[in-house]
Amino acid sequence: MQHYKYDEIKEHFEDWVEDQEVEWIGENIDDLHHHVFNTDYYIIGTQKAIDWMGSKVFQIIETIKDYEEFHFGEVGTDLSCPEKLVNMYAYIVGEEIVNDFVYKREQAI
């Protein structure tokens, strides 16, 4: 099952990579996910975040809860804040996208 708005988040990643120097990515491949999805917000604005989630808000919350409980043993994201939901969700989906990118890059070498 593909994540909600996977293609949009992937396009965000690809646009970010396109704007970078190839050498920078090669030198910082281990920090790529952090730089793309953790140094800036994916969505800014409460209403914009609400609109972005649409009817998938509960699916997004479930994804975040599953991820954080698995990785951290508890949920740390404020589930009442639409901006935090969208940005954490993009972070989670972005991790999958970056891992796929790195894997394909390593296979090409």
Q: Is 97 helix (H, G, I), strand (E, B) or coil?
A: helix
The alpha-carbon radius of gyration of the chain (Å, integer) is 14
The model's pTM is: 0.91
Kindly state the tokens that stand for 32: 């790529």
The domain tally of the chain equals 1
Nearest CA to 68 out of 80, 81, 58, 78 is that of: 78
Q: Would you state the pLDDT for residue 44?
A: 96
pLDDT at 1 over 70: no
Q: For residue 36, what are the domain limits?
A: 6-108
**Within a domain: residue 1?**
no
47/35 Cα distance (integer angstroms): 25
**Within a domain: residue 50?**
yes
Number of CB atoms found within 10 A of residue 83's CB: 19
- Of all residues in the chain, the percent with pLDDT exceeding 90 is 74
List pLDDT tens digits, range 28-37.
788 889 989 9
**Within a domain: residue 65?**
yes
List pLDDT tens digits, range 44-74.
999 999 999 999 999 999 999 999 999 999 9
**Within a domain: residue 72?**
yes
